[in-house]
């Protein structure tokens, strides 16, 4: 029966071997009773500067430890995301949260390189890889990502404010990109302050409680290349 199903799927999909392989994987997952909320595996496309998947309203840039950005991708802060972030901060302030208008947003490849190397020098690479991206792997390089800070200038960790972000950031088009309990999927420790702009579709992603990896179905987790990052001298 199972062989027949695979055969039928193969015929439907035609000769594209990678698609057939994906269908088989999906079928195995279903038969083993694994979570059904995860979509089938999608392979993001690369346009020379970044990987992307098709979202409901257009291409969605994909960045994680499997999908890097090119070093010369330097878009600066996205103006739409910037306005949305400012609106979100104003709303939080009006609710009494101690948040700052100062934030950590766009970072170039070079800035990320400096930052990451400083963390490696301080904490060692293994620790640094859990909370900081290697150059070319930071979502901040897209100009779509913002770290919320509190009024003392620290990254926002306060419990109620963090919960507010989980509940309401999507109304402004953002997702909390590295939630608790998803380190295996996202490749990063929880970061209650790190917001990624998606747009309208953020509401669906957030209401399902899924990471971008799970919602769009692309691969996440750790770096594919396990070798120690070598500093360019
Ligand atoms: Zn961040």
Same domain, 11 and 125: no
Assigned domain for 228 exists = no
Distance of CA 178 from the midpoint of ligand 1 (Å): 9
- When pLDDT is cut at 50, 70 and 90, the band that residue 26 belongs to is very low
Handedness of CA 161, 188, 113, 85 (dihedral sign): negative
Same domain, 68 and 90: yes
CA 65 to chain centre: 9
Distance of CA 98 from the midpoint of ligand 1 (Å): 19
Same domain, 182 and 204: yes
Query: Which pLDDT does position 43 carry in this prediction?
Result: 96
HSE (side-chain half, CA atoms, 13 Å) at 226: 1
Assigned domain for 184 exists = yes
Distance of CA 38 from the midpoint of ligand 1 (Å): 25
Query: Tell me: the pLDDT tens digits for 44-102?
Result: 999 999 999 999 999 999 999 999 999 999 999 999 999 999 999 999 999 999 999 99
* Structure-block tokens of residue 54: 């098709």
Assigned domain for 229 exists = no
Same domain, 17 and 76: no
Query: Tell me: the pLDDT tens digits for 173-228?
Result: 999 999 999 999 999 999 999 999 999 999 999 999 999 999 999 999 999 876 55
Assigned domain for 52 exists = yes
> Could you tell me if 185 and 213 are in contact, meaning their C-beta atoms sit under 8 angstroms apart?
yes
Assigned domain for 223 exists = no
Assigned domain for 226 exists = no
Distance of CA 23 from the midpoint of ligand 1 (Å): 34
Query: Which pLDDT does position 39 carry in this prediction?
Result: 56
Assigned domain for 224 exists = no
Query: Which domain covers residue 137, as residue numbers?
Result: 45-216
Same domain, 109 and 156: yes
The pocket of ion ligand 1, defined by CB under 5 A, consists of 147, 194
Give yes or no for residue 130 having a pLDDT over 50: yes
Distance of CA 232 from the midpoint of ligand 1 (Å): 24
Same domain, 6 and 68: no
Q: What is the pTM of this model?
A: 0.80
Same domain, 26 and 56: no
Give yes or no for residue 16 having a pLDDT over 70: no
Distance of CA 105 from the midpoint of ligand 1 (Å): 7
Handedness of CA 179, 88, 174, 201 (dihedral sign): positive
Same domain, 89 and 154: yes
Percent of the chain residues topping a pLDDT of 70: 79
Same domain, 18 and 130: no
Count of the separate structural domains present in the chain: 2
Assigned domain for 230 exists = no
Same domain, 107 and 127: yes
Same domain, 24 and 50: no
Out of 22, 117, 139, 191, the active site residue is 191
CATH at 139:
3.30.1380.10
Same domain, 20 and 57: no
For the question of residue 160 being annotated catalytic, the response is: no
Q: What is the DSSP string of 83-145?
A: HHHHHHHHHHHHTT--EEEEEE----HHHHHHHHHHHHHHH-HHHHHHHSPPTT--GGGGT-E
Query: Which pLDDT does position 38 carry in this prediction?
Result: 55
* Structure-block tokens of residue 103: 């934030």
């Amino acid at each position: 029966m199972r062989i027949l199903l695979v055969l039928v799927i193969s015929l439907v999909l035609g000769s594209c071997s990678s698609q057939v392989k994906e269908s088989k994987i999906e079928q195995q997952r279903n038969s083993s009773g694994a979570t059904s909320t995860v979509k089938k595996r999608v392979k993001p496309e690369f346009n020379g500067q970044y990987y992307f998947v098709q979202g409901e309203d257009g291409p969605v840039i994909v960045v994680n430890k499997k999908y890097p950005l090119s070093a010369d991708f330097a878009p600066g802060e996205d103006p739409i995301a910037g306005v949305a972030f400012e609106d979100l901060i104003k709303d939080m302030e009006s609710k009494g949260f101690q948040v700052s208008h100062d934030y950590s947003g766009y970072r170039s490849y070079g800035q990320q390189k400096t930052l990451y190397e400083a963390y490696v020098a301080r904490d060692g690479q293994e620790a640094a890889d859990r909370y900081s991206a290697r150059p070319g792997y930071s979502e901040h390089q897209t100009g779509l990502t913002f770290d919320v800070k509190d009024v003392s200038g620290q990254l926002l960790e306060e419990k109620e404010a963090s919960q507010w972000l989980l509940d309401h950031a999507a109304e402004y088009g953002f997702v909390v990109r590295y939630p608790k309990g998803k380190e295996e999927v996202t490749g990063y420790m929880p970061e209650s302050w790190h917001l990624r702009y998606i747009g309208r579709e953020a509401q669906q992603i957030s209401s399902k409680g899924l990471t971008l990896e799970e919602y769009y179905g692309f691969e996440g987790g750790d770096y594919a290349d396990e070798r120690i990052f070598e500093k360019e001298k």
